[in-house]
Chain A
Amino acid sequence: MRRGIYKKKITLFITMMLLLSFALVGCVPKSNSSSSTSKTEGKWAGQKIKVQMIGDFAMEDKTDPVTGETAKGMKVVKEEFEKQHPGATVDFVLMPWEGYTEKTQAMITSGEADVYQMPGVADFAPQGVLEPLQPWIEKDKEFSLDIFIDNQVDGWKALGTDSKELDIFGLPFLGDTRFIAYDKKIFDDWGVEYPSENPTMEEIAEKAKQMTGKNPKTGEQNYGIWFRGDWSSAFTLVDLAEGQNGTWGTGFAWDEVKFNLDSPEMLNGLNWLLEMQKYAPKGIVSNQGNEKWLSKDNNIAIMLNQGPGDTVKPAYAQGLGDRIGIVNEFKNDEGRGGLFAGSPITIAKSSKNKELAWEWVKFATSDFVQKFVFEEYGAIPAVKSATEWESVKEMPLMLPVFKAMETPMTPRYPWGSSQPRFILTSEIEAALTGNRSAEDALKKAQKESTEWVENR
C-alpha cells in the first residue's frame, strides 16, 4: 500500500518536473538562439563556441520593417564558419540593444558565452573577465590590424585589471560614428550654400539662422537646426568644446580622470546650444520636433550629432538618398573630435576554446561577415575594404560616414556610460530649459562629477 503511494508520489513528482522543464524550454525563443551538437570529425572536431551578438540580428530570414526587404538570417554566417572550420560548432545568443549592458554583465559573470559583442569593453576589461588580444594578434601571422579603418582599433583600447597602459581587449566589429547631416532641398530652397566638409560653429550657426522661418518656395515653417537636448546632449556639447580645441578633461582610469566640464570652451559650447535653440523646433529636450526628418515633408535644415544607422539606410529606403548630405562634426586643429562609437568583439577569459574563439574574431572581421551584416542588416562595416564593395558604392552617403569614422576622439570617453554623463546631460537640460544659467549648470556638473569620481 505504502509502496504504491510512494510510487505515485514519485511519478507525480517526475511528471511535474518534466512539465516544468518543457515549459521552460518552450519559453526560449527559437529565433534568438541556436544550439547544435558537437561534431566528431575535422581539425576542430568537438570544439564548440557560443557567440553573443547585439542588434537586430536573427537566426532565420526576416523582413526589414523599414525597407520591406528580406534579410538573410545569421544561419548563413554559422554555416560558412563551420564550413571553414571543419568539426567546429558555433552557437549564437542574439539579443536586442535594450538592456544589453546588464544582460552582458549577467552572461559574462556566469561564463555563458565565449565571444561577446561589447560596446562597454572599457567597463568590462578592468573586471578581468576579458582575454587580452595583443598576444593573439602577434602570434597570428595571417592577421593584420591594417584591415581596419584608421582609428578604430585605438578607439576600443581599454585598461586591464592592474594595467596602467591601454591594451587591446576588443577588435572593431561594427562601425559607428557621429556627423552632421543636412537636407540639400531646404538649402536649395533658401539659396544657402551647403556646409563645408569640416564646418565651424560659426558657419553652422549662420546657416541655421538663415534657414529658420517660412520657406521661400514652399511657404512651410522651416527650422535651421535640430539636436537632441536630452540623451546624447553631453556628447554634442563635448564635441563643441573639442571643435574649439577644448576637452572634457583628461585620463582614462578612474583614479586618473580629471574633469574640465566648466572650461571656457564648454561654456562657449553650451551658450552656442542655447543660441541655436532659437532656430530649432520646440521639444529638443524631450527628443521631439524632428518627426519629419527623413521624410519628403522635412522641415529641418541641419541635424547635429547624427549616426549612420538612423540616417543612411532609412534615407535610401525613403528615396531621399540624394537629398541628404553628411559632413564631419566639429574637429580640433588636429582634425579630431566627437564621440567614438560602435561595437568591438571580445573573447571571454573563461572561454574553454580560445583558439576557436580567436578564429571567430578573425572571421567576424573578415570581408564575408562584414559585408553580410552590412547588406542584410545595415550594420556599418569597420574594415577599409568596404569602400570597394558594390553595395557600399550604391550608397554614396556611406563614404562620408567612413571618413567620419577615422577622426573621432580616441580612446572612447571613459565616462560615456557612467554617472558623469548623466550629471552633465541633466545640467545641459537644466540650462536649455532655463532652470539654470549655462555657467551655473557647468559648475554644478563639474563639482558633482568630480565628487563622484573621488568617492567611487
Chain B
Amino acid sequence: MAAITENDGLMRAADGTPLKQALARATRMNKARAFLLTTPLLAFILVTFILPIGMMLFRSIEAPEVSEAFPKTVAILEQWDGVGQPSEEIYASLAAEMADPENRFKLGKAGTRLNYIESGFRSLMNKTVRRIKRVDAGPYKEAFIKIDKRWGETDTWKIIRLAGDPYTYRAYLNALDLTQAPDGNIVAQPEIKQIYVTLFERTIFVSIGVTIACIALAYPISYLLATLPSGTSNLLMIFVLLPFWTSLLVRTTSWIVLLQTNGVINDILVSLGIVGTDDRIQMIYNMTGTFIAMTHILLPFMVLPLYSVMKTIPRDHMRAARSLGANPAIAFGRIYLPQTIPGVGAGSILVFILAIGYYITPALVGGQDGQLISNIIEYHMKKSLNWSLAAALGGILLAGVLALYWLYNRIVGISNMKLG
C-alpha cells in the first residue's frame, strides 16, 4: 500500500484513491467485520429471547376478545350516548351475536375478559347466552331484562363498551391496584382486591433487606480474603465458590433441612435447652425462611466484586493513616471504606437485580407470607390464566430491572462484569 504523491498534492494509496478515503474505507470494513462476528448471536438472542418477551409483554395491552365476539354490537355501542338504557337495536344485535353458532368459542373468552373488569360478568354472560337462544323474536330489550335485570342497567353496557376496545392499559391499572369505573374514570380497586402494590412493596423491601444483609456479611470476609496471604485466602475462597457453584435447588433444600421445625437447628437448640421441645421455632415456610435462604444464595455475588475491589487497595494506605496518628476506626472510615464503595455498589445492584426477580426460593420456602412478585406472576400465568395481568405485572417488574441494569452499566460498565 505504498502511498504515492500525485501532482494535485493529495496522498494516494496504491490503487490511486486518496489516502483519506482509503483509510475511511478500511475502517468501515473493519467495523463491518467486527459487527458481522456478533450477528449470529445477536440474531439468535433477538429471535429466541427478546422477541418472545416483547410479544408476551404485548399481551398486557391486548384485549381483543369482546370486539371479536361482538363486532357489530361494539360498533353500534360506540354511537350510544351512555344515558339510560341503550336502544332496542343494540339488544337485538347482541342477541344475534350470542346466538350465532360460529361465535360459540368466542363467547366464553369474552365473558372472561368482561369478568376482569366486573366480577360476576362471566356468569351473567353464560346465563344469558343459554337463555337468549330460545327467544325467537323481539322485543329483545324486555327479554334481556327478564333474564337478568342487570341488562337494564346503564353500567353493564358501559362496561361492554369499555371492553370493546381491543387495546387497553387496564391490566396495568389492575397491577397497580386501580381499576376503571364503567364511566372510564380511574378509581382504586375495592380494598379486598388490593394486593399487588403490597406485593411490589414487599418484594422491594425484601430485596433491600437481602442486599443489606449481603453487604454486612460479605464485607468482613472479603476484607479477610483480600488481606490474608494468597495461599490461605485461596483455600478460604472455596467457602465462597462452592456455594456459588452448587445448584440453587440443593441450597434451598438444605435450608429446609436445617430450618424445619424438626430440623437440625431446632434440634440443636432443643438439646442445648435454649428452646423447649414443644415450642420449636417456626423458621421456614414464612418470610424468615425466604430471607435467610435468599441471603445465603446471593452472598457470593456480593463477595466476588467486593473482594476484587479490596484486592487492589494498597496496604500502605492504612499504615500511612495509622502512622499519621489516626486511630483504627478513623483510618478505616476515612481511608479504607471510601475506596471500597465501587465494589459495594457493583455487588449491591447485582444482588438487588437478582433478588427482585426471585422465584424458586420464595416458592419453596416462602409459605404464605414469603411470596414475592414473581410468584404471583407465575400464579396468573399457570393457575388463574389471567395472562394480561401476568404480562402487566411482568412489564412493571422488567421496567424496574432494566432501570437498574442501566444504572449498573453507568456505574460499573457491563463490559467490566466478571465472574468467579
Query: Is B truly associated with A?
Result: no
